[in-house]
Amino acid sequence: MITHDTTTEVTREGVAGGESTFHIKANAKAFNILSAALYTDRIKAIVRELSTNAWDAHVMANNVDTPFDIHLPTYLDQTFYVKDYGTGLSDVQIRGETVDGVFVPGIYQTFFDSNKQSSNDVIGCLGLGSKSPFSYASTFIVESRYQGMKRTYNMFKNEHGLPSVALMDEQPMADDDRTGLTVMLSVKSADIDKFTNAAKKALMYFSPLPNFVGQTSFKPYDMRHTVTGSNWRIRESEYYAYMSGPYVVQGFVAYPVDSNIINEHQKLSGGAQALCEVDLDLYVTIGDVEVAPSREALDYDARTIVNLACSLEQAASEMRKSFQEAIDKCTTQWEAAVLLDTYQHSKSDMFSKVFTQMHKAEPFQFQGQDLTQTIRFNVDLLKNVQIVLATLNSGRRGKGDKLDTSNSWQAGGFAKMYEFHVQGGLHVITDSKSTRLKSPAIKAWLNSKPQVNTHKSRALIVRPLDKSGNMDGVNAVIAAMGCPNVVTMDSIPQVASSRSGYVSVKRDKQSRLVWQGFPVKENRWGREETRQVFSRLTWQTEDVDLSEGGIYIDIERFTALRKDGSEFSTIDEFIKAAIALELLEPGDIVGMSKKELEAAQKQGEWINLIDEVTTNFEMANEDGEMFNRDIVTNVKSALNVSFVTNVIDRWSAFNTLGDCALRTFVDKYKELESSASEHPMSLVGQVIRVCGIKFDTVNEVDKHVNEYKEMWAKYPLFHMIDWSRTVGDRSALIDYIHSVGC
């Protein structure tokens, strides 16, 4: 990123002698301030700085579409590294060189020096981010793959506390190596979760996302943008991201915006100030705003303040224009009022908030008047007309909705004006008859309408007071309402009523309930959620040929039951796991009561779902392979962590190793690991919990661990090896294994 240096005209008067500039003394304290005290969140800084450096490397290598790698630490491998596929750095760029007897330090070892200060295509510029690992550790590893050579460096603090660099290994790149840089450090056990949480927030805006190694299921915090413009987006982020208010995004890094500072220097319009009250992302070009050296906050210089104010005003102008254009498309006051309610009660909280704030700062207009949801007209129009509000209210004891028509209005009293509040889901019905309302028909019709925003469907029923059927007064009221869409009572389907309020339909003797799965719907984040409650929605009534037999599950009304009669609340996960493990064929699962099952068993062979899966599991697990994943997990956790990380996980590096105890052990383990992938333990666990299957993998685990101990004893020097320092060169280790023999 291009930095903007400021110059100042200086008038020198009355200077008695010469002048000299200040200098910084290079000592441990100064370097500690620049690498450790610089950051308030050191772990997050490491993830952010190394990730942005990796992205910059890809930009400079014209490789932006390829994700770089991040290895997040786990309890089995406590290493954090970022590996890019840029051009890498030369030995001179990292360690420097001596020219004409004068040592010239390399870019990598120099604070405030960078090869990125001449371009706004990259994020870095200060030469501080590459040193961020020193804020956490006193030593870390850098591997540079450059022009056919792979060099491994140890970055460490020497005995005086000064950052230093030493070349550890140098060798030609392997055929499958790609140029680039890897920065690696060891993580304390207590900080593993901290690195994971830091990565969740630091990488939210990266695109493409890095390739995550170690924790392969890792995802940054969820974030979605509900409304977008040319340089702005309304943000809704996961709670634990702790992001509130406006942020400016520059080069995949989001910085909080302090609107108070901007307002002190650049008076914002009402619309722009309204945006400062909502969760807004402003996207700027790299270099548009200055950032603090820590890259944790903005540097509010004059240029940054002006650019932020312009971005806010542009976003406010675009947003207000889009809102107003939608309002202008409305053809009636009623339509505009419904749109206002929709905007103020959107599924997106941020969308509603930004519109409400803008409307409060400067009301939107409809046909020259302030937009409102309130419809008002002279009460004299109601002289020969009655308006009835029909509302669905929840019935007692879960007996369904009840229709309330107790609220009605007509002329009379001292009121001069009649007014009501228009909301989404409010319908208007005209009835030419003044006789008793057809409540069952109205209730059924309202129940068929979808819920709008947070409102249940309601209806204003407008009808004449006399029996003449004259609709002139009704039409005048409809016009005064703002011309809503009207439904006539005659067009609403009639419903045959009974004392209980519904008509029962007798099921055919062969009809049965077939499992459909728990209903799924989107939550506020746009993600699908399953409502695990048994109801009529979880079943489909279908005609079943009982003589063909099939798979059934016990039910009590709509609730599926286990073998012991308890509620089978995990039936969905159980079925999916059984099908994935090939223990169950996809197909209909019929729910039957005890009485229905007795009748069905007389006509065909019906097998209980749990019995079917249990039988097939026992056949598939004859050799115990269903538990291989559990065995692998326990074996790996019992082994030496360094051995797992540097030998088993990187076994391909030992491809020149002949027959020996080490190869025998690892090959057996790798074969076990390969077979384990066929039966994920998460799926197996779903099945064995429901079926009540017991298993004991201790003996199998002990067998592998004992083989490991025998192999470990065969090579006593393994106890003395610093595995982290042999990553770059395994030739000596392989020679040692060969010398010991099989």
Share of residues in the chain with pLDDT > 90 (%): 25
Q: Please state the domain count of the chain.
A: 5
Tell which residue, 379, 32, 52, has the closest CA to residue 183. Answer: 52
Q: What is the DSSP letter of 212?
A: E
pLDDT given at position 122:
41
The beta-carbon contacts of 109-114 under 8 Å, at least 24 apart in sequence, are: 109/163, 109/165, 111/31, 111/34
Task: Report yes or no: 542 and 589 within 8 Å, Cβ to Cβ.
Answer: no
Angle at 504 between CA 546 and CA 391, to 5 degrees: 135
445 and 537 in a single domain? The answer is: no
Task: Report yes or no: 687 and 617 within 8 Å, Cβ to Cβ.
Answer: yes
446 and 464 in a single domain? The answer is: yes
pLDDT given at position 500:
40
Task: Report yes or no: 263 and 247 within 8 Å, Cβ to Cβ.
Answer: no
405 and 362 in a single domain? The answer is: no
Lowest-confidence segment of 323-327, 439-443, 654-658, 723-727 by average pLDDT: 723-727
Q: 502 lies in a domain?
A: no
75 and 172 in a single domain? The answer is: yes
Mean local confidence (pLDDT), 78-106: 87
Between 561 and 531, where is the model more confident?
561
Q: 244 lies in a domain?
A: yes
H or E, element range at 247: strand 247-250
pLDDT given at position 312:
93
Tell which residue, 647, 627, 625, has the closest CA to residue 76. Answer: 647
Q: Kindly report the average pLDDT of the chain as a whole number.
A: 81
- Name the H helices within 84-238: 91-95, 192-202
328 and 378 in a single domain? The answer is: no
Tell which residue, 314, 323, 367, has the closest CA to residue 344. Answer: 323
Half-sphere exposure (CA, 13 Å, Cβ side) for 339? 18
Mean local confidence (pLDDT), 35-56: 85
| Residue-range definition of the domain harbouring residue 522 | 511-609
Q: Among 188, 213, 238, which residue terminates a domain? A: 213
Helices (H) then strands (E): counts for the chain: 20, 31
Q: 721 lies in a domain?
A: yes
pLDDT given at position 609:
94
Residue 508 pLDDT > 50: no
Q: 169 lies in a domain?
A: yes
CATH of residue 102: 3.30.565.10
164 and 230 in a single domain? The answer is: no
Q: 548 lies in a domain?
A: yes
152 and 286 in a single domain? The answer is: no
Between 37 and 472, where is the model more confident?
472
Q: Among 577, 609, 641, which residue terminates a domain? A: 609
Q: Among 313, 338, 370, which residue terminates a domain? A: 370
Mean local confidence (pLDDT), 656-673: 79
Between 163 and 654, where is the model more confident?
163
Q: What is the pLDDT of residues 388-432, one digit of tens each?
A: 888 887 654 344 567 888 777 777 656 678 888 888 788 899 998
Q: What is the DSSP letter of 248?
A: E
Q: What is the pLDDT of residues 366-390, one digit of tens each?
A: 999 999 988 888 888 888 888 888 8
Q: 526 lies in a domain?
A: yes
Query: How far out from the chain centre does Cα 216 lie?
Result: 15
Q: 499 lies in a domain?
A: no
pTM attached to this predicted model: 0.55
pLDDT given at position 554:
94
pLDDT tier, 146 (very low <50, low <70, confident <90, very high otherwise): very high
pLDDT given at position 537:
83
Residue 111 pLDDT > 60: no
pLDDT given at position 20:
57
245 and 349 in a single domain? The answer is: yes
Mean local confidence (pLDDT), 91-118: 71
Lowest-confidence segment of 242-251, 253-262, 330-339, 709-718 by average pLDDT: 709-718
d(Cα 207, Cα 51) in Å, to the nearest integer?
A: 11
pLDDT given at position 396:
43
Residue 170 pLDDT > 90: yes
pLDDT given at position 117:
42
| Integer CA distances (angstroms), 316 to 84, 254, 347, 697, in order | 39, 20, 21, 63
Q: What is the pLDDT of residues 292-321, one digit of tens each?
A: 877 788 989 999 999 999 999 999 999 899
pLDDT given at position 453:
62
Residue 81 pLDDT > 90: yes
597 and 525 in a single domain? The answer is: yes
Three-class SS state of 234: strand
Q: 453 lies in a domain?
A: yes
243 and 172 in a single domain? The answer is: no
Share of residues in the chain with pLDDT > 70 (%): 84
Residue 528 pLDDT > 80: no
Non-local (6+) Cβ contacts of 663 within 8 A are 654, 657
182 and 162 in a single domain? The answer is: yes
55 and 170 in a single domain? The answer is: yes
pLDDT given at position 495:
66
Lowest-confidence segment of 144-148, 155-159, 492-496, 540-544 by average pLDDT: 492-496
Tell which residue, 564, 615, 562, 553, has the closest CA to residue 587. Answer: 553
